[in-house]
Structure 1
Amino acid sequence: MKSTILKYLSDGNKPEDLSVIILSFVVALILGMIIYISYKFSHSRAVYSAKFNISLVMLVLVCTMVMKVIGNNLSLSLGMVGALSIVRFRTAIKDSRDTVYIFWCIVCGICCGVSEYVVAFIGSGVIFGFLIIFGCIKTNERFLLIIHGDNSIEEEVEKLMLVFFSGQSKIKVKNTSKTRTEYIYELTQKMIDKSKNNDKTINDGLYAIEGVESVNLVCQNEDVSR
Protein backbone atom coordinates (compact mmCIF):
# COMPACT_ATOMS: atom_id res chain seq x y z
CA MET A 1 0.00 0.00 0.00
CA LYS A 2 2.81 2.39 0.94
CA SER A 3 4.69 1.67 -2.25
CA THR A 4 1.56 2.32 -4.31
CA ILE A 5 0.97 5.69 -2.64
CA LEU A 6 4.62 6.70 -3.00
CA LYS A 7 4.60 5.68 -6.63
CA TYR A 8 1.43 7.70 -7.22
CA LEU A 9 2.95 10.75 -5.58
CA SER A 10 6.30 10.49 -7.34
CA ASP A 11 5.09 9.61 -10.82
CA GLY A 12 4.90 12.58 -13.12
CA ASN A 13 2.38 13.19 -15.83
CA LYS A 14 2.56 11.47 -19.13
CA PRO A 15 3.99 13.96 -21.61
CA GLU A 16 1.29 15.40 -23.85
CA ASP A 17 1.62 15.80 -27.56
CA LEU A 18 2.97 19.11 -28.73
CA SER A 19 -0.15 19.66 -30.83
CA VAL A 20 -2.38 19.33 -27.73
CA ILE A 21 -0.26 21.86 -25.81
CA ILE A 22 -0.32 24.33 -28.70
CA LEU A 23 -4.10 23.89 -29.09
CA SER A 24 -4.62 24.61 -25.38
CA PHE A 25 -2.70 27.88 -25.60
CA VAL A 26 -4.42 28.92 -28.83
CA VAL A 27 -7.85 28.35 -27.26
CA ALA A 28 -6.69 30.17 -24.11
CA LEU A 29 -5.61 33.14 -26.24
CA ILE A 30 -8.97 33.20 -28.06
CA LEU A 31 -10.86 33.11 -24.76
CA GLY A 32 -8.55 35.79 -23.39
CA MET A 33 -9.39 38.05 -26.33
CA ILE A 34 -13.12 37.45 -25.73
CA ILE A 35 -12.63 38.57 -22.13
CA TYR A 36 -10.58 41.54 -23.37
CA ILE A 37 -13.39 42.68 -25.69
CA SER A 38 -16.03 42.15 -23.00
CA TYR A 39 -14.11 44.22 -20.43
CA LYS A 40 -13.45 47.01 -22.92
CA PHE A 41 -17.07 47.39 -24.00
CA SER A 42 -18.67 46.93 -20.58
CA HIS A 43 -16.29 49.32 -18.86
CA SER A 44 -18.13 52.33 -17.42
CA ARG A 45 -15.58 54.32 -15.42
CA ALA A 46 -14.19 57.59 -16.69
CA VAL A 47 -10.67 56.25 -17.31
CA TYR A 48 -10.28 52.88 -19.07
CA SER A 49 -7.32 50.79 -17.85
CA ALA A 50 -5.78 49.03 -20.85
CA LYS A 51 -2.99 47.60 -18.67
CA PHE A 52 -5.47 45.77 -16.45
CA ASN A 53 -7.29 44.44 -19.52
CA ILE A 54 -4.05 43.07 -21.00
CA SER A 55 -3.29 41.51 -17.61
CA LEU A 56 -6.57 39.57 -17.87
CA VAL A 57 -5.46 37.96 -21.14
CA MET A 58 -2.09 37.10 -19.60
CA LEU A 59 -3.86 35.57 -16.58
CA VAL A 60 -5.70 33.10 -18.82
CA LEU A 61 -2.42 32.02 -20.44
CA VAL A 62 -0.61 31.74 -17.11
CA CYS A 63 -3.38 29.62 -15.58
CA THR A 64 -3.30 27.36 -18.64
CA MET A 65 0.45 26.93 -18.24
CA VAL A 66 0.11 26.11 -14.54
CA MET A 67 -2.58 23.50 -15.21
CA LYS A 68 -0.49 21.92 -17.93
CA VAL A 69 2.45 21.62 -15.54
CA ILE A 70 0.40 20.28 -12.62
CA GLY A 71 -1.89 17.90 -14.47
CA ASN A 72 -2.71 14.88 -12.27
CA ASN A 73 0.51 15.01 -10.28
CA LEU A 74 -0.58 15.34 -6.64
CA SER A 75 2.85 16.08 -5.22
CA LEU A 76 3.48 18.78 -7.81
CA SER A 77 0.10 20.37 -7.18
CA LEU A 78 0.79 20.52 -3.42
CA GLY A 79 4.17 22.10 -4.10
CA MET A 80 2.58 24.63 -6.44
CA VAL A 81 0.02 25.57 -3.77
CA GLY A 82 2.82 26.10 -1.28
CA ALA A 83 4.76 28.25 -3.72
CA LEU A 84 1.77 30.40 -4.65
CA SER A 85 0.81 30.90 -1.01
CA ILE A 86 3.98 32.98 -0.59
CA VAL A 87 2.78 35.49 -3.19
CA ARG A 88 0.79 38.42 -1.83
CA PHE A 89 -1.38 40.51 -4.11
CA ARG A 90 -1.67 44.04 -2.76
CA THR A 91 -3.51 45.63 -5.71
CA ALA A 92 -6.84 46.94 -4.44
CA ILE A 93 -9.88 46.00 -6.52
CA LYS A 94 -11.72 49.25 -7.24
CA ASP A 95 -14.70 47.78 -9.08
CA SER A 96 -16.52 44.63 -7.96
CA ARG A 97 -16.80 43.57 -11.60
CA ASP A 98 -13.01 43.42 -11.84
CA THR A 99 -13.13 40.50 -9.39
CA VAL A 100 -15.62 38.72 -11.67
CA TYR A 101 -13.27 39.16 -14.64
CA ILE A 102 -10.33 37.80 -12.66
CA PHE A 103 -12.25 34.66 -11.68
CA TRP A 104 -13.47 34.30 -15.27
CA CYS A 105 -9.86 34.32 -16.48
CA ILE A 106 -8.78 31.76 -13.87
CA VAL A 107 -11.63 29.38 -14.74
CA CYS A 108 -10.91 29.69 -18.48
CA GLY A 109 -7.25 28.93 -17.82
CA ILE A 110 -8.19 25.85 -15.79
CA CYS A 111 -10.57 24.64 -18.53
CA CYS A 112 -7.91 25.07 -21.20
CA GLY A 113 -5.33 23.35 -19.00
CA VAL A 114 -7.47 20.22 -18.71
CA SER A 115 -8.68 20.45 -22.36
CA GLU A 116 -12.31 21.19 -21.49
CA TYR A 117 -12.73 23.55 -24.42
CA VAL A 118 -16.49 23.07 -24.89
CA VAL A 119 -17.22 24.05 -21.28
CA ALA A 120 -14.91 27.06 -21.60
CA PHE A 121 -16.54 28.36 -24.80
CA ILE A 122 -20.14 27.80 -23.70
CA GLY A 123 -19.54 29.35 -20.28
CA SER A 124 -17.63 32.29 -21.75
CA GLY A 125 -20.37 32.88 -24.31
CA VAL A 126 -23.04 33.07 -21.60
CA ILE A 127 -20.92 35.35 -19.39
CA PHE A 128 -19.92 37.53 -22.35
CA GLY A 129 -23.55 38.08 -23.37
CA PHE A 130 -24.62 38.83 -19.79
CA LEU A 131 -21.84 41.37 -19.20
CA ILE A 132 -22.36 43.11 -22.54
CA ILE A 133 -26.08 43.53 -21.78
CA PHE A 134 -25.86 44.43 -18.10
CA GLY A 135 -22.26 45.57 -17.77
CA CYS A 136 -22.96 49.01 -19.23
CA ILE A 137 -25.50 49.85 -16.53
CA LYS A 138 -24.21 52.81 -14.56
CA THR A 139 -24.98 53.46 -10.94
CA ASN A 140 -26.73 56.65 -9.89
CA GLU A 141 -23.67 58.22 -8.28
CA ARG A 142 -24.08 60.34 -5.18
CA PHE A 143 -22.45 63.72 -4.62
CA LEU A 144 -21.98 66.01 -1.65
CA LEU A 145 -22.58 69.73 -2.18
CA ILE A 146 -20.61 71.62 0.48
CA ILE A 147 -21.48 75.26 1.09
CA HIS A 148 -19.50 77.63 3.36
CA GLY A 149 -20.53 81.11 4.41
CA ASP A 150 -21.60 83.34 7.29
CA ASN A 151 -24.74 82.93 9.38
CA SER A 152 -26.80 85.25 7.19
CA ILE A 153 -26.99 82.65 4.39
CA GLU A 154 -29.09 80.04 6.22
CA GLU A 155 -32.60 80.99 5.15
CA GLU A 156 -31.72 81.85 1.54
CA VAL A 157 -29.59 78.72 0.98
CA GLU A 158 -32.27 76.37 2.28
CA LYS A 159 -34.93 78.10 0.17
CA LEU A 160 -32.76 77.96 -2.98
CA MET A 161 -31.92 74.26 -2.55
CA LEU A 162 -35.57 73.45 -1.95
CA VAL A 163 -36.70 75.22 -5.15
CA PHE A 164 -33.74 74.35 -7.40
CA PHE A 165 -33.92 70.58 -6.81
CA SER A 166 -37.70 70.42 -6.31
CA GLY A 167 -37.34 69.33 -2.68
CA GLN A 168 -35.26 66.24 -3.52
CA SER A 169 -31.97 67.45 -2.01
CA LYS A 170 -31.21 66.18 1.48
CA ILE A 171 -29.30 68.01 4.20
CA LYS A 172 -26.65 65.61 5.51
CA VAL A 173 -24.79 68.04 7.78
CA LYS A 174 -25.42 71.54 9.05
CA ASN A 175 -22.62 73.03 11.14
CA THR A 176 -22.99 76.47 12.69
CA SER A 177 -20.92 78.72 14.91
CA LYS A 178 -21.34 82.31 16.08
CA THR A 179 -20.22 83.68 12.73
CA ARG A 180 -20.09 80.84 10.20
CA THR A 181 -22.35 78.19 8.66
CA GLU A 182 -21.57 75.02 6.73
CA TYR A 183 -24.12 73.00 4.75
CA ILE A 184 -23.58 69.55 3.25
CA TYR A 185 -26.31 68.38 0.87
CA GLU A 186 -26.57 64.95 -0.75
CA LEU A 187 -27.33 64.96 -4.48
CA THR A 188 -27.57 62.24 -7.11
CA GLN A 189 -26.32 62.21 -10.68
CA LYS A 190 -29.89 62.31 -11.98
CA MET A 191 -30.64 65.43 -9.93
CA ILE A 192 -27.52 67.17 -11.26
CA ASP A 193 -28.29 66.21 -14.87
CA LYS A 194 -31.88 67.40 -14.49
CA SER A 195 -30.74 70.74 -13.06
CA LYS A 196 -28.67 71.42 -16.20
CA ASN A 197 -31.90 72.27 -18.01
CA ASN A 198 -32.32 75.36 -15.81
CA ASP A 199 -31.28 78.81 -16.96
CA LYS A 200 -28.53 79.00 -14.33
CA THR A 201 -26.47 76.46 -12.40
CA ILE A 202 -26.69 75.85 -8.67
CA ASN A 203 -23.29 77.53 -8.30
CA ASP A 204 -24.62 80.70 -9.91
CA GLY A 205 -27.60 80.72 -7.57
CA LEU A 206 -25.51 80.11 -4.46
CA TYR A 207 -22.85 82.71 -5.27
CA ALA A 208 -25.64 85.23 -5.90
CA ILE A 209 -26.47 84.94 -2.19
CA GLU A 210 -24.52 87.50 -0.19
CA GLY A 211 -22.36 85.77 2.41
CA VAL A 212 -21.64 82.53 0.51
CA GLU A 213 -17.86 82.09 0.38
CA SER A 214 -17.26 78.70 -1.27
CA VAL A 215 -19.19 75.88 -2.96
CA ASN A 216 -17.65 72.41 -3.46
CA LEU A 217 -19.10 69.34 -5.19
CA VAL A 218 -17.54 66.02 -4.09
CA CYS A 219 -18.34 62.53 -5.39
CA GLN A 220 -19.13 60.12 -2.56
CA ASN A 221 -17.98 57.01 -4.40
CA GLU A 222 -14.70 55.52 -3.16
CA ASP A 223 -13.90 54.30 -6.65
CA VAL A 224 -10.75 55.98 -7.95
CA SER A 225 -10.05 55.38 -11.61
CA ARG A 226 -6.69 53.88 -12.36
Structure 2
Amino acid sequence: MGNLFVESFQKLGTTELMLLLLNVIMAIAMSLVVFLAYRITYRGVAFSKKFMISLGMMCIVTTIIMNVISNNVALSLGLVGALSIIRFRTAVKDVRDATYIFWCIGIGICCGVSMYAQAAIGTAAIFLFLIVWGQTRSDGKFLLVVKSNAEAQGNVEAAVKGYFNKHAHMRARNSRHDQVDFIYELGHRDVIKAQDRHSISIAETLLKLEGVLSVDLVQQNDDISR
Protein backbone atom coordinates (compact mmCIF):
# COMPACT_ATOMS: atom_id res chain seq x y z
CA MET A 1 0.00 0.00 0.00
CA GLY A 2 2.82 2.34 0.92
CA ASN A 3 4.66 1.49 -2.29
CA LEU A 4 1.62 2.40 -4.38
CA PHE A 5 1.40 5.73 -2.60
CA VAL A 6 5.07 6.48 -3.26
CA GLU A 7 4.81 5.35 -6.89
CA SER A 8 1.85 7.63 -7.47
CA PHE A 9 3.93 10.60 -6.33
CA GLN A 10 6.87 9.49 -8.47
CA LYS A 11 4.64 9.22 -11.54
CA LEU A 12 3.21 12.62 -10.81
CA GLY A 13 6.56 14.34 -11.17
CA THR A 14 7.78 17.58 -9.67
CA THR A 15 6.43 19.74 -12.49
CA GLU A 16 2.94 18.27 -12.38
CA LEU A 17 2.88 18.46 -8.59
CA MET A 18 3.85 22.14 -8.62
CA LEU A 19 1.23 22.81 -11.29
CA LEU A 20 -1.44 21.11 -9.17
CA LEU A 21 -0.46 23.14 -6.11
CA LEU A 22 -0.50 26.35 -8.14
CA ASN A 23 -3.94 25.53 -9.52
CA VAL A 24 -5.30 24.88 -6.03
CA ILE A 25 -3.73 28.07 -4.64
CA MET A 26 -5.27 30.14 -7.44
CA ALA A 27 -8.66 28.51 -6.82
CA ILE A 28 -8.43 29.32 -3.11
CA ALA A 29 -7.43 32.92 -3.85
CA MET A 30 -10.38 33.43 -6.19
CA SER A 31 -12.76 31.71 -3.80
CA LEU A 32 -11.90 34.46 -1.30
CA VAL A 33 -13.30 36.95 -3.80
CA VAL A 34 -16.47 34.87 -3.95
CA PHE A 35 -16.65 34.92 -0.13
CA LEU A 36 -16.28 38.70 -0.11
CA ALA A 37 -18.94 39.21 -2.78
CA TYR A 38 -21.37 36.88 -1.01
CA ARG A 39 -20.82 38.59 2.34
CA ILE A 40 -21.27 42.10 0.95
CA THR A 41 -24.35 41.44 -1.16
CA TYR A 42 -26.17 39.07 1.21
CA ARG A 43 -29.34 40.63 2.59
CA GLY A 44 -31.01 37.64 4.20
CA VAL A 45 -31.83 37.08 7.84
CA ALA A 46 -29.79 33.96 8.61
CA PHE A 47 -26.27 34.19 7.18
CA SER A 48 -24.84 30.72 6.55
CA LYS A 49 -21.08 30.31 7.03
CA LYS A 50 -21.43 26.65 6.08
CA PHE A 51 -22.58 27.66 2.62
CA MET A 52 -19.53 29.91 2.22
CA ILE A 53 -17.22 27.06 3.24
CA SER A 54 -19.01 24.78 0.78
CA LEU A 55 -18.36 27.29 -2.00
CA GLY A 56 -14.62 27.24 -1.26
CA MET A 57 -14.59 23.45 -1.15
CA MET A 58 -16.40 23.38 -4.48
CA CYS A 59 -13.69 25.51 -6.09
CA ILE A 60 -10.93 23.23 -4.81
CA VAL A 61 -12.69 19.95 -5.63
CA THR A 62 -13.55 21.09 -9.17
CA THR A 63 -9.95 22.23 -9.68
CA ILE A 64 -8.56 18.85 -8.62
CA ILE A 65 -11.05 16.96 -10.80
CA MET A 66 -10.24 19.09 -13.85
CA ASN A 67 -6.52 18.65 -13.21
CA VAL A 68 -6.97 14.86 -13.19
CA ILE A 69 -9.15 14.54 -16.30
CA SER A 70 -7.64 17.35 -18.39
CA ASN A 71 -5.32 14.99 -20.28
CA ASN A 72 -7.28 11.76 -19.95
CA VAL A 73 -10.28 11.20 -22.20
CA ALA A 74 -11.22 7.89 -20.56
CA LEU A 75 -11.37 9.47 -17.10
CA SER A 76 -13.42 12.40 -18.36
CA LEU A 77 -16.01 10.09 -19.92
CA GLY A 78 -16.10 7.96 -16.79
CA LEU A 79 -16.62 11.04 -14.64
CA VAL A 80 -19.54 12.17 -16.80
CA GLY A 81 -21.14 8.75 -16.39
CA ALA A 82 -20.56 8.74 -12.64
CA LEU A 83 -21.97 12.22 -12.10
CA SER A 84 -25.02 11.46 -14.23
CA ILE A 85 -26.35 9.08 -11.56
CA ILE A 86 -25.94 11.59 -8.71
CA ARG A 87 -29.01 13.49 -7.60
CA PHE A 88 -28.72 16.50 -5.33
CA ARG A 89 -31.96 17.16 -3.45
CA THR A 90 -30.80 20.02 -1.25
CA ALA A 91 -33.22 22.92 -1.65
CA VAL A 92 -31.66 26.24 -2.63
CA LYS A 93 -33.44 28.91 -0.59
CA ASP A 94 -32.22 31.81 -2.72
CA VAL A 95 -31.91 31.88 -6.50
CA ARG A 96 -28.63 33.75 -6.20
CA ASP A 97 -27.14 30.88 -4.19
CA ALA A 98 -27.36 28.74 -7.32
CA THR A 99 -25.46 31.38 -9.31
CA TYR A 100 -22.70 31.39 -6.68
CA ILE A 101 -22.45 27.63 -7.05
CA PHE A 102 -22.02 27.94 -10.82
CA TRP A 103 -19.52 30.73 -10.27
CA CYS A 104 -17.36 28.46 -8.08
CA ILE A 105 -17.64 25.61 -10.57
CA GLY A 106 -16.47 27.97 -13.32
CA ILE A 107 -13.50 29.06 -11.22
CA GLY A 108 -12.59 25.45 -10.52
CA ILE A 109 -12.78 24.51 -14.20
CA CYS A 110 -10.59 27.43 -15.29
CA CYS A 111 -8.01 26.92 -12.54
CA GLY A 112 -7.99 23.17 -13.11
CA VAL A 113 -6.77 23.66 -16.69
CA SER A 114 -4.42 26.52 -15.68
CA MET A 115 -6.44 29.25 -17.38
CA TYR A 116 -5.82 31.79 -14.65
CA ALA A 117 -6.39 34.85 -16.82
CA GLN A 118 -9.87 33.70 -17.84
CA ALA A 119 -10.72 32.86 -14.23
CA ALA A 120 -9.43 36.21 -12.96
CA ILE A 121 -11.21 38.27 -15.62
CA GLY A 122 -14.48 36.41 -15.14
CA THR A 123 -14.27 36.65 -11.35
CA ALA A 124 -13.50 40.38 -11.47
CA ALA A 125 -16.37 41.02 -13.89
CA ILE A 126 -18.89 39.11 -11.75
CA PHE A 127 -17.61 40.76 -8.56
CA LEU A 128 -18.01 44.27 -10.00
CA PHE A 129 -21.45 43.39 -11.34
CA LEU A 130 -22.57 42.18 -7.91
CA ILE A 131 -21.16 45.22 -6.13
CA VAL A 132 -22.95 47.60 -8.50
CA TRP A 133 -26.25 45.77 -8.92
CA GLY A 134 -26.35 43.32 -6.03
CA GLN A 135 -27.21 45.97 -3.46
CA THR A 136 -29.89 47.77 -5.44
CA ARG A 137 -33.40 47.40 -4.13
CA SER A 138 -36.70 47.67 -5.87
CA ASP A 139 -39.39 50.19 -5.00
CA GLY A 140 -41.02 47.57 -2.80
CA LYS A 141 -44.63 46.49 -2.47
CA PHE A 142 -47.13 46.45 0.35
CA LEU A 143 -50.15 44.24 0.89
CA LEU A 144 -53.15 45.85 2.54
CA VAL A 145 -55.34 43.21 4.19
CA VAL A 146 -58.75 44.41 5.38
CA LYS A 147 -61.38 42.35 7.18
CA SER A 148 -64.89 43.75 7.41
CA ASN A 149 -68.55 42.85 7.62
CA ALA A 150 -70.41 42.21 4.39
CA GLU A 151 -72.41 45.43 4.83
CA ALA A 152 -69.23 47.53 4.94
CA GLN A 153 -67.52 46.25 1.79
CA GLY A 154 -68.76 49.13 -0.35
CA ASN A 155 -67.48 51.70 2.12
CA VAL A 156 -64.13 49.90 2.36
CA GLU A 157 -63.59 49.89 -1.41
CA ALA A 158 -64.53 53.55 -1.69
CA ALA A 159 -62.26 54.53 1.21
CA VAL A 160 -59.25 52.66 -0.18
CA LYS A 161 -59.69 54.13 -3.67
CA GLY A 162 -60.10 57.62 -2.26
CA TYR A 163 -57.14 57.35 0.10
CA PHE A 164 -54.70 56.10 -2.55
CA ASN A 165 -56.20 58.13 -5.40
CA LYS A 166 -57.10 54.92 -7.33
CA HIS A 167 -53.51 53.59 -7.15
CA ALA A 168 -54.52 50.59 -5.03
CA HIS A 169 -54.86 47.32 -6.98
CA MET A 170 -57.24 44.74 -5.57
CA ARG A 171 -55.66 41.29 -5.76
CA ALA A 172 -58.25 39.24 -3.90
CA ARG A 173 -61.63 39.47 -2.22
CA ASN A 174 -62.78 36.52 -0.15
CA SER A 175 -66.33 36.30 1.16
CA ARG A 176 -67.54 33.89 3.84
CA HIS A 177 -70.82 34.15 5.70
CA ASP A 178 -71.07 37.76 6.85
CA GLN A 179 -67.33 38.60 6.58
CA VAL A 180 -65.32 39.89 3.61
CA ASP A 181 -61.51 39.94 3.29
CA PHE A 182 -59.81 42.39 0.90
CA ILE A 183 -56.21 42.20 -0.29
CA TYR A 184 -54.77 45.23 -2.07
CA GLU A 185 -51.32 45.61 -3.61
CA LEU A 186 -49.70 49.00 -3.07
CA GLY A 187 -46.47 50.61 -4.18
CA HIS A 188 -44.12 51.92 -1.51
CA ARG A 189 -44.15 55.42 -2.98
CA ASP A 190 -47.94 55.41 -3.18
CA VAL A 191 -48.17 54.59 0.53
CA ILE A 192 -45.75 57.37 1.48
CA LYS A 193 -47.47 59.96 -0.73
CA ALA A 194 -50.92 59.03 0.56
CA GLN A 195 -49.83 59.32 4.19
CA ASP A 196 -48.25 62.73 3.54
CA ARG A 197 -51.38 63.90 1.73
CA HIS A 198 -53.90 62.79 4.36
CA SER A 199 -51.72 63.13 7.48
CA ILE A 200 -53.32 59.93 8.77
CA SER A 201 -52.54 56.28 8.11
CA ILE A 202 -54.76 54.02 6.02
CA ALA A 203 -55.32 51.81 9.07
CA GLU A 204 -56.72 54.68 11.10
CA THR A 205 -58.86 55.77 8.16
CA LEU A 206 -60.43 52.36 7.66
CA LEU A 207 -60.89 51.55 11.33
CA LYS A 208 -63.11 54.61 11.63
CA LEU A 209 -65.60 52.92 9.30
CA GLU A 210 -68.39 50.95 10.87
CA GLY A 211 -68.07 47.23 10.23
CA VAL A 212 -64.28 47.14 9.69
CA LEU A 213 -62.80 44.41 11.90
CA SER A 214 -59.05 44.65 11.24
CA VAL A 215 -56.52 46.33 8.95
CA ASP A 216 -53.00 44.97 8.27
CA LEU A 217 -50.33 46.57 6.09
CA VAL A 218 -47.62 44.03 5.26
CA GLN A 219 -44.45 44.59 3.28
CA GLN A 220 -44.19 42.18 0.37
CA ASN A 221 -40.77 40.75 -0.50
CA ASP A 222 -39.68 38.94 -3.65
CA ASP A 223 -38.51 35.89 -1.66
CA ILE A 224 -38.75 34.40 1.81
CA SER A 225 -35.07 34.77 2.69
CA ARG A 226 -35.21 38.55 3.07
Q: Secondary structure at the match of 2:155?
A: helix
| AA partner of residue 108 (structure 2) | G
CA RMSD of aligned residues (A): 2.8
Q: Is 2:61 the partner of 1:62?
A: yes
Q: Deviations over 1:69-97 (max 9, x none)?
A: 22221111122122222221223334333
Which amino acid in structure 1 is aligned with residue 209 of structure 2?
A: I
Aligned-pair CA distance for 1:162: 2.1
- Hey, which bits of structure 1, 4+ residues long, moved more than 6 A? 12-15
Distance 2:85 2:201 in 1: 54
Worse overlay, 107-116 or 131-140: 131-140
**1:125 Cα offset (Å):** 0.9
Could you list the per-position Cα deviations for residues 87-133 of structure 1 after superposition, in whole angstroms to 9, with x for gaps in the alignment?
A: 21223334333332221111100011111111111111111111110
Report if aligned partners of 1:32, 1:57 keep a CA contact under 8 Å in 2: yes
User: Aligned partner of 2:134: which letter?
Assistant: G
Q: Which residue of 1 aligns with 2:30?
A: 31
Deviation at 1:143, TM superposition (A): 3.9
Counterpart CA distance in 2 for 1:175 and 1:182 is 5
- Taking the aligned partners of 1:31 and 1:82, their CA distance within structure 2 comes to 29
Question: What's 1:7 paired with?
Answer: none
Deviation string for 1:149-173 (max 9, x for gaps)? 1023223322332233232111122
Residues 46 and 187 of structure 1: is their aligned pair in 2 closer, same or farther, counting only changes over 3 Å?
A: farther
- When normalised by structure 2's length, the TM-score is 0.80
In the alignment, structure 1 residue 51 sits paired with structure 2 residue 47: no
Task: Report if aligned partners of 1:150, 1:180 keep a CA contact under 8 Å in 2.
Answer: yes
Is 1:13–1:73's contact at 8 Å kept on the other side of the alignment?
no
- 1:202 positional shift: 2.6
Contact 2:20/2:64 (8 A) holds in 1: no
Q: How does 1:1-226 map to 2 (within 5 A)?
A: 16-176=15-175, 179-192=178-191, 194=193, 199-217=199-217, 223-225=223-225
Amino acid at match of 2:69: I
Gaps of 5+ in 2: 1-10
SS of match in other structure, 2:167:
coil
- Higher mean C-alpha displacement, 163-172 vs 121-130: 163-172
Output the amino acid matched with 1:120: A
Q: Deviations over 1:13-65 (max 9, x none)?
A: 88853222221111101110101111221223444333323322221111112
Q: Report which of the two has the higher share of helix.
A: 2
Q: What letter corresponds to residue 41 of structure 1 in structure 2?
A: I
Q: CA separation of 1:72/1:43 partners in 2, compared to 1, >3 Å: closer, same or farther?
A: same
**Cα deviation, residue 192, structure 1:** 4.2
Alignment partners' CA distance in 1, 2:188 and 2:111: 43
The amino acid that maps onto 1:86 is I
**Counterpart for residue 3 of structure 1:** none
The more displaced of 30-39 and 197-206 is 197-206
Indicate how the Cα distance of structure 1 residues 195 and 113 shifts in structure 2: closer, same or farther if over 3 A, else same. farther
Q: Could you report, residue by residue, the CA deviation over 1:172-202 in whole angstroms, capped at 9, with x for unpaired residues?
A: 2234466222212112344445556564433
Uncovered stretches (5+) of structure 1, i.e. residues with no partner: 1-11
Closer/same/farther in 2, CA of residues 107 and 139 from structure 1, 3 Å limit = same
The alignment partner of 1:34 has SS state of helix
